[in-house]
C-alpha cells in the first residue's frame, strides 16, 4: 500500500465503521482462544489491531513493511518492527498467535506469507486472517490500495492448508452491505474507498454490519473472508 493510502487508513481506523467492527471481531476471536501469550500482528499498519491484542493481555508485536506504519505504532507505545511478511525476523515456533488482516492480497507470493505464519507459530498456535473476497468486486479501489487479487473460499483454503495450517473456521463478513458495496464499486471511476464517512452515515453502516453478529449470514457471499487456523505439528 502506498504511503498516502496508509496515512488515510491510520487516520480513519479508530472511528470508521469498517475498522471498528473488525476490531470487535478480533476481540471476540482472541477471547475464545483462552490464555494470552506472545502474538505477532503482520501488516499492522498503524497498530490498531495490535492495540486490541495488547488490551486483551497478549504480548503483541506489530510488523509492517512501511516505516511510516512502524513509526506510528511505536508512537502509540506498541512494540513494532519493520519486516517483510515473506521473511519474518522471528524465531521458528516462537509465538502463539499471528494475525494478518488485509495482508495476503497485497503480495503476489502469498504462499510465502502463510508459510512464514506457520513457521513462527508454536504447536497449537493460531492464525487469524482476513482478506477481501470475490474477484467480481474488483474495482479501482483494489488498484489504488495495491491489491493483486481478491480471494474465494477455495483459493484462501488452498494457500493456508498448503502452509501446514488446519482451518478451524472460515466465514464471510460484511454480507448485508455487499449489494451496496458492489453498486458503489461498479460506479467508481478511480481512487480508493478510504475516506471519512459522515457521522450519521457512519453510525447507520455500523449498526447494519453489527447486526451480522446475530444473523445466520456467515456462509453467504460478503466483502471479506475471515479465517481462523491452527498449527498441529
Domain topology for 3-231 = Rossmann fold (3.40.50)
The model's pLDDT over 96-112, given as tens digits with 9 standing for 90+, comes to 999 999 999 999 999 99
Predicted local confidence at residue 42, as pLDDT: 98
Continuous segment of H or E residues that includes residue 98: strand 95-101
Distance CA 95, CA 140 (A): 36
Sheet holding 95-101, edge to edge: 79-82, 59-64, 38-42, 95-101, 121-132, 224-231, 165-173
User: 36 falls in which pLDDT band (50, 70, 90)?
Assistant: very high
Nearest to 32 by CA among 158, 154, 139, 126: 126
Classify 149 in phi/psi space as left (phi over 0), alpha (psi -120 to 50) or beta: beta
Residue 47: the pLDDT is: 93
- Contact by Cβ (8 Å): 204, 197: no
Whether residue 8 is predicted with pLDDT greater than 80 in this model: the reply is: no
How far is residue 104's CA from residue 224's CA, in Å, rounded to a whole number?
A: 12
Quote the CA–CA distance of 66 and 84 in Å, as a whole number: 9
What pLDDT band is residue 86 in, cutting at 50, 70 and 90?
Answer: very high
C-alpha grid cell, residue 138: 474488483
**pLDDT at residue 1, rounded to an integer:** 58
For 122, residues 6+ apart whose C-beta sits below 8 A from its C-beta are 93, 94, 95, 96, 231
pLDDT band for position 145 (50/70/90)? confident
| Domains of the chain, residue spans | 3-231
pLDDT, residue 197, reads 83
pLDDT at residue 7, rounded to an integer: 72
Amino acid at each position: 500500500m502506498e504511503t498516502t493510502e496508509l496515512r488515510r487508513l491510520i487516520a480513519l481506523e479508530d472511528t470508521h465503521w469498517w475498522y471498528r467492527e473488525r476490531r470487535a471481531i478480533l476481540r471476540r476471536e482472541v477471547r475464545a482462544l483462552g490464555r494470552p501469550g506472545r502474538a505477532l500482528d503482520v501488516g499492522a499498519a498503524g497498530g490498531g489491531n495490535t492495540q486490541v491484542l495488547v488490551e486483551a493481555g497478549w504480548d503483541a508485536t506489530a510488523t509492517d513493511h512501511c516505516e511510516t506504519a512502524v513509526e506510528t505504532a511505536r508512537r502509540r507505545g506498541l512494540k513494532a518492527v519493520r519486516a517483510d511478511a515473506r521473511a519474518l525476523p522471528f524465531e521458528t515456533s516462537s509465538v502463539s498467535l499471528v494475525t494478518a488482516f488485509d495482508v495476503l492480497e497485497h503480495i503476489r507470493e502469498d504462499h510465502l506469507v502463510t508459510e512464514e505464519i506457520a513457521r513462527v507459530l508454536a504447536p497449537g498456535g493460531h492464525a487469524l486472517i482476513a482478506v477481501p473476497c470475490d474477484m467480481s468486486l474488483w474495482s479501482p479501489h483494489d488498484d489504488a490500495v495495491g491489491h493483486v487479487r481478491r480471494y474465494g473460499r477455495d483459493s484462501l483454503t488452498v494457500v493456508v492448508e498448503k502452509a501446514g495450517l488446519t482451518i478451524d473456521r472460515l466465514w464471510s463478513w460484511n454480507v448485508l452491505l455487499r449489494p451496496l458495496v458492489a453498486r458503489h464499486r461498479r460506479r467508481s471511476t478511480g481512487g480508493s474507498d478510504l475516506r471519512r464517512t459522515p457521522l450519521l452515515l457512519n453510525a447507520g453502516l455500523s449498526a447494519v454490519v453489527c447486526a451480522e453478529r446475530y444473523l445466520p449470514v456467515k456462509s453467504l457471499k460478503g466483502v471479506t473472508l475471515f479465517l481462523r487456523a491452527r498449527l498441529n505439528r
